[in-house]
Structure 1
Amino acid sequence: MDREEMKSVENTENSATTDVAYEVPSVALAMSILKLLSRYKTQSCTLTEISKRTHASKTTCLRVLRTLARGDFIRYDKVSRCYSLGAYLIPLGNRASQMVSGVSEVMLELPRLAEKVGETVMLLERLPEDAVIVLAKAAPSSEVARADVSIGQLFAGLGGAFGRCFLAYDAPSAWRKHWMKMTATGDRVAKMWSSQETFYEALETTRRVGAAVSHGEMAAGFSSVAVPLFASDGSVALVLAVLLLTSQYQEERGKAMIRILQQTAERWRGLF
C-alpha cells in the first residue's frame, strides 16, 4: 500500500468515528435488530414485527437476520417463528465488560453494595439517542419483595433520578432541547412537572447536591436514588442508582442511600 492509499484509509477511519452521517445501511439495521431483541418487551419477535419496528422491508430484514444467525448472534425458533438473541452474545458481552475501563471492577462490588443499601442497585450508561441502558445490576440476598431490572434494559429519555444525573451536567441549551422534545412527544415525565422552570430547578439541585431522587417518573410505584460517576476529565461517565418500590421509600432511608452511593462514587472516581 503506497502513502496516498494509507492516507485515504486513515481519513476514512477518522471520518467513521467523527461523522455522524457516515453509515452502512446493513450494519445499521443489524445494530437496530440486536438492540430491539435486547429489550425485555421485544426479546422475541417475528419477521413482520422486526420489519415494522426497524422500518425496513421484510426481504432486507431476512437477509440481515440470516447473516446474524449464521454467526450465532441471534437464533430462530421454528415453532414460534420468532427471533431472539443468540448464545454467542454471552461470551461477547462478558468480554466487553472486562475490556471496558472500570466496569469489570465495579461489577464485582455491586453485590456488596446491594447488600449494604438493601435494594437493587444499577450501573447505567447514557446512549447517543438520549436513552439510558442498564449495564449491570445486583440485588440483596434477602427474599423481601423488591423492584427488579434486567441487564440491557432500556429506559427511553432522560427521566427519573438517573436520567437527571446525566442531563444535569449538560449545558443549559441541552436542558431546553430536552424539555421541548419531552413536551412535543407527550412524554409522561414532562407531565409530572408543573412547569419548565421547576424541571430546570430540579436539574440545578441535582448538579449542586450531586444526587437525585424520583418517584413514579419512569413507572408508577417505583422510585430511584442516583448519583453520577465521574470520569478522570470531570465528565459524567456512568450513573450509579438504587431502584426500589415507592412504598418502601422513606426520606431518612433515601438520605442514607445517597451518602452510601456518593461515598462509593468517590472511590470509583476516574475509573471510567
Structure 2
Amino acid sequence: MSIANEPAPETPGAQTLRRGLSILKLLARYQPEGLGVSDIARKLELNKATAVRLTRTLMDEQFVAQNADTRRYQLGPESFAVGLAAEPHYALQRIAAPHLRALALETGDWLFFSVRHGLEAICLSRESGDIPYPQASLRVGDRHPLGLGAGGLAILAALPEEEAEMVITINAPEIARRYPQMTEDTVRNLHQTARGQGYSVIPGVLAPGFWGIGVPVLRPDGQPLAAIVLLASAVRLGYARQATIAARLQRVSRDLMLAPSDS
C-alpha cells in the first residue's frame, strides 16, 4: 500500500521552532501586560521546564523581554523590528484606525478590524467603547475560521458563491468543534442571510449577551480584504439599530478604500 500521501513525521527541530513561534503568537495577544512563564506553559500545554527553556532562548535573541517589576514576559525589540518589516502589508489597518476610533466614540460600542488570511480572519486591532469589554470576545491577534464571528462571516458572504461553499465545507467541522451550537446548517443559514442583506449579524456566539455586526472591506474587483465589526450588548443592538449601524459601517468601509495611503 502506498504511503506517498502520508505526512512526514515532524522533526525535533521543527517541533521546537513551532513551539517558539507559538510563544510569540501568544505574547502578541497579551500585549502590553505580558504573561508569566507558568501562564505560558498552561496556555500552550507545555511543561514548565520547556516553557522556561524556549522563553530564555527567545530572550537571548531579543524576541522576548522580561519586565523587571512584574517578571512577566513581553515581546522584545526583535519582534518589533520584524513587525516593522511586515508593516506595509497592514497599511489598510493603519488607515482604518482613526475611522474606527471615531466610530467607537460616536456609538460607545467596541470596533474591531480583521483581515482575511486564507481560510481565516485575523483580528488586527480593536477600539474601545464605553461598555464593559466581554472577556470572551476578540483579542488582537486572535484568528477564527471564516464563517465564525461577524467579521469572518462578513468576509465569507462577500466571496463568490462557489468559493464560499468550499470554505464552509472545509471550515464547518472546526467551527462546530469549537462552538457546538454553530453547526454547518447554522453557518450556511447565517451566510445566506448575510449575503442577502450585505452585512452579518452574530447573536452572542463568541461572547454571550453581546451581538456583532460585520461588513466586508472590498477591493475594487469586489474581493473581500478585511472586515469591520461592531460589538454591542444585546439590549443596545435591537433590530432597528442593526440596520442603522450596518449602514454606518458600510460607509466607513467604502471610505477606507477611497482614502489615500501615506506610503
TM-score range, shorter chain: 0.7 to 0.9
Name the CA distance, whole Å, in 2 between partners of 1:48 and 1:150. Answer: 19
- 2:247 is the counterpart of 1:247: no
> For residues 87 and 261 of structure 1, do their structure 2 counterparts lie closer, same or farther at Cα, with a shift above 3 Å needed?
same
- In structure 1, the partner of 2:205 is 217
245, 251, 258: which one aligns with 1:263: 251
Structure 1 residue 153: Cα displacement: 4.5
- 1:172 CA displacement: 0.7
* Aligned counterparts of 1:174 and 1:101: Cα–Cα separation in 2: 26
Please say if 1:30 is aligned against 2:20: yes
TM-score (norm 1): 0.71
Residue 145 in 1 paired to residue 131 in 2?
yes
Whether 1:177 aligns to 2:170 is yes
Match of 2:44 in 1: 53
Amino acid at match of 2:170: K
Measured in 1, the distance between the counterparts of 2:45 and 2:219 equals: 34
* 8 Å CA contact 1:146, 1:245 repeated in 2: no
What SS does the corresponding residue of 2:168 show, helix, strand or coil?
Answer: helix
The corresponding residue for 1:191 is: 181
Q: Identify if the C-alpha distance between structure 1 residues 172 and 124 changes in structure 2 by more than 3 Å, giving closer, same or farther.
A: same
SS for the counterpart of 1:226 is strand
The alignment yields a C-alpha RMSD, in angstroms, of 3.8
Alpha-carbon shift at residue 225 of structure 1 (Å): 0.7
Give me the whole-angstrom Cα distance separating, in 1, the residues matched to 2:84 and 2:138: 15
Q: Which runs of 5+ in 2 are unaligned?
A: 1-8
Flag the 1:180–1:150 CA change in 2: closer, same or farther, 3 A: closer
Distance 2:49 2:219 in 1: 42
Q: Structure 1's 129 and 65: CA in aligned 2 closer, same or farther, altered over 3 A?
A: farther
Q: Deviations over 1:57-96 (max 9, x none)?
A: 945x555423321343212367876533336655765775
Counterpart for residue 5 of structure 1: none
Instruction: Please say if 1:165 is aligned against 2:154.
Output: yes
Give, as a single letter, the amino acid of the residue that structure 2 aligns with 1:53.
L
| 2:115 aligned to which of 121, 125, 128 | 125
Q: Match of 1:152, as an amino acid?
A: V
Of 75, 85, 98 in structure 1, the residue corresponding to residue 65 of structure 2 is 75
Q: AA paired with 2:41?
A: I
Residue number in structure 1 paired with 2:225: 237
Equivalent position SS for 1:100: helix
Q: For the structure 1 residues 129 and 58, does the alpha-carbon distance in structure 2 shift closer, same or farther, using more than 3 Å as the test?
A: farther
2: CA distance between counterparts of 1:147 and 1:57?
A: 31
Displacement of 1:162 in angstroms is 1.6
Partner of 1:217, secondary structure, is: coil
Q: What amino acid is aligned across from residue 231 of structure 1 in structure 2?
A: R
Q: Give the deviation of 1:107 after TM superposition.
A: 1.5
Task: Count residues with an aligned counterpart.
Answer: 242
User: Residue 102 of structure 2 corresponds to which residue in structure 1?
Assistant: 112
Amino acid at match of 1:50: A
CA distance in 2, matches of 1:22, 1:209: 45
Q: Aligned match of 1:205 in 193, 197, 203?
A: 193
Identity %: 21
Unmatched runs of 5 consecutive residues or more in structure 1: 1-20
- Find the counterpart in structure 1 of residue 125 from structure 2: 136
The one-letter code of the counterpart of 1:220 is P
**TM-score when scaled to structure 2?**
0.73
